[in-house]
Amino acid sequence: MTESSIKPLNWHSEPGIGYTVQRRPDGGMHYVFTEINEKTLRHWREFALQHLLDSDRLTRNLYDLRAVKSVPPEAVQVALELNTDPAARNIRVAVVVENEAVRRAIEEIEALTVPAGVELGIFTQMDEAEAWLSRPLTQLI
């Protein structure tokens, strides 16, 4: 993907949010969450919805949740909302977790995501997640 074909990230940090995001070389996004609180969820939801609005290509996103100790039910609900957006069919998401509680929450999200939604993989190692993300993308619908 050329630099000119990668759409702008349009992400800005705010005090009190527990995540950062940057563009991946393939045009997807690399999120790093350190905590999940109400302000983080609001910020992430709005940012993600803006990117889904004009989603026009198959995308690979990486979520690093290794620093997260638990995922509140509200975060599961936001993830499900985002995963079931019609534009989510264009997205492959690799989630890297460190502990079993976070893995279970991500498995719940995966189980409740409609079949035509986001393609989700759960990993404990970054290199495994990157290898899975690098597989050729296919339209999910």
pLDDT computed for residue 17 by the predictor: 97
Q: Which domains does the chain have, with CATH numbers?
A: 3-133 (3.30.750.24)
Q: Please state the rounded mean pLDDT for residues 107-130.
A: 90
Cβ(31)–Cβ(96) below 8 Å: no
Taking only the tens place, the pLDDT of each residue in 91-107 is 899 999 999 999 999 99
Cβ(101)–Cβ(92) below 8 Å: no
Q: Is 99 or 114 the better-scoring residue by pLDDT?
A: 99
Q: Please state the rounded mean pLDDT for residues 7-35.
A: 91
Could you give the residue ranges of the DSSP H alpha helices within 2-125? 38-53, 73-83, 100-112
Range with lowest mean pLDDT among 6-15, 64-73, 100-109: 6-15
pTM of the model: 0.89
Instruction: Name the pLDDT band for 114 (thresholds 50, 70, 90).
Output: confident
pLDDT computed for residue 108 by the predictor: 95
Judge residue 76's burial from the number of C-beta atoms within 10 Å of its C-beta, 0-12 exposed, 13-18 middle, 19 or more buried. Answer: middle
- Return mean pLDDT, the chain: 88
pLDDT computed for residue 78 by the predictor: 95
Which residues have a Cβ under 8 Å from the Cβ of 39 and sit 6 or more positions away?
A: 14, 16, 17, 18
Instruction: Name the pLDDT band for 52 (thresholds 50, 70, 90).
Output: confident
